[in-house]
């Protein structure tokens, strides 16, 4: 069996990944999100708030407990949030904490557990983190989001290097998905323009139908998972392959 553990499986890119992966009866998909509808036979849902770090620390080892003698095991850290859109000085401390919890602390805890549990297991092993172009350059109004994705990228690069040093045979990627037509983009277009001067660019992209469909992005991500040896870099951008 192939096992896929996907965070943020209820909608957007995560949901599109679940829809495609569950078409194959050889795949068992374990999704983690606060909500989910319409379960398939080979989909197992864990209803969980991944922003709750205390709870995560006590539960994380159980997330992988249904994985038995895997042929392939894949962790997809997809859940993410933009948080409050606004300039620094106008943000709440709770909001800043939430972004860092969900976008940085949670995926690092999950990666740590994955490496701990599967390092010695003979299987194809992949960690795929969903990053963002916004982790590579500043966007006004998105300070915490940009910083969180930048942190995820560098953490991924360190894990990838350690996996080579320790001969774990775990492939690690941090992939920017492009601009994708999901609820996250709706939130961007609804932001107050004075808190986010770049807003016009995203409104225009939608008007000109330049957003990618979640299903086509999921297809690209599956290419990385299915053929990891074709990709020599840790940091990838789906618009470039
Ligand atoms: N859309 C884009 O243009 C774009 C661009 C660059 C990068 N990305 C990245 O792609 C990833 C997916 O984004 P998306 O556009 O698909 O977003 P989305 O449509 O807003 O979906 C986010 C997913 O994360 C889950 N989630 C949010 N908060 C959670 C929490 N506290 N606990 C558990 N699950 C939580 C949501 O499920 P529940 O609400 O049910 O919990 C949902 O399934 C994110 O990491 C995002 O940063 C997106």
Taking only the tens place, the pLDDT of each residue in 17-62 is 999 999 999 999 999 999 998 879 999 999 999 999 999 999 999 9
CATH number given to 2-179+213-240: 3.40.50.720
Ligand 1 first shell, C-beta below 6 A: 8-14, 33-35, 49-51, 78-81, 102, 130, 132, 177, 179-180, 182-185
Closest CA to ligand 1's atom 8: 132
Give which of 154, 34, 37 is closest to 98, Cα–Cα. 34
How far, in Å, from the CA of 36 to the mean position of ligand 1? Answer: 13
Three-class SS state of 70: coil
Spatial separation of the C-alpha atoms in residues 225 and 123, rounded to whole Å: 13
How far, in Å, from the CA of 14 to the mean position of ligand 1? Answer: 7
Contact assessment for residue 129 and residue 173, using Cβ atoms and an 8 Å cutoff:
yes
pLDDT score at 45? 96
Q: What is residue 213's DSSP assignment? A: P
- Can 145 be counted among the known catalytic residues? yes
Residue 203, H or E segment:
helix 199-207
pLDDT tens-place string over residues 73-91: 999 999 999 999 999 999 9
Length of the chain counted residue by residue: 241
Identify any residues that bridge with 172 across adjacent strands, giving them in sequence order. Answer: 127
Spatial separation of the C-alpha atoms in residues 216 and 239, rounded to whole Å: 11
Contact assessment for residue 40 and residue 28, using Cβ atoms and an 8 Å cutoff:
no
Q: In what order do the strands lie in the sheet with 72-77?
A: 43-47, 27-33, 2-7, 72-77, 124-130, 170-176, 235-237
Closest CA to ligand 1's atom 44: 80
Three-class SS state of 1: coil
pLDDT score at 172? 98
Span of 37-41, 47-51, 92-96, 118-122 with lowest mean pLDDT: 37-41
Token pair listed for 239: 């618009």
Closest CA to ligand 1's atom 6: 132
pLDDT exceeding 90 applies to what percent of the chain? Answer: 98
């Amino acid at each position: 069996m192939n096992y896929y553990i996907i965070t943020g499986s209820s909608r957007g890119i995560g949901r599109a990944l679940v829809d495609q992966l569950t078409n194959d009866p050889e795949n068992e998909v374990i999704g983690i999100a606060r909500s989910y509808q319409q379960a398939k036979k080979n989909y197992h849902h864990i209803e969980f708030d991944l922003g709750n770090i205390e709870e995560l620390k006590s539960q994380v080892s159980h997330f992988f407990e249904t994985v038995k003698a895997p042929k392939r095991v894949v962790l997809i850290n997809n859940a993410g949030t933009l948080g409050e859109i606004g300039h620094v000085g106008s943000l709440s401390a709770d909001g800043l904490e939430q972004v860092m919890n969900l976008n940085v602390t949670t995926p690092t805890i999950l990666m740590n557990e994955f490496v701990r549990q599967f390092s010695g297991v003979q299987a194809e092993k992949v960690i795929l983190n969903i990053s963002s172009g916004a982790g590579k350059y500043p966007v006004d109004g998105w300070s915490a989001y940009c910083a969180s994705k930048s942190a995820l990228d560098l953490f991924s690069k360190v894990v990838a290097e350690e996996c080579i040093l320790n001969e774990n045979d775990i492939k690690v990627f941090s992939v920017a998905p492009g601009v994708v037509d999901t609820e996250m983009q709706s939130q961007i277009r609804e932001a107050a323009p004075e808190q986010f001067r770049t807003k016009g660019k995203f409104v225009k992209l939608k008007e000109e139908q330049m957003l990618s469909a979640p299903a086509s992005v999921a297809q690209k991500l599956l290419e990385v998972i299915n053929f990891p040896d074709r990709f020599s870099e840790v940091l990838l951008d789906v618009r470039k392959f």
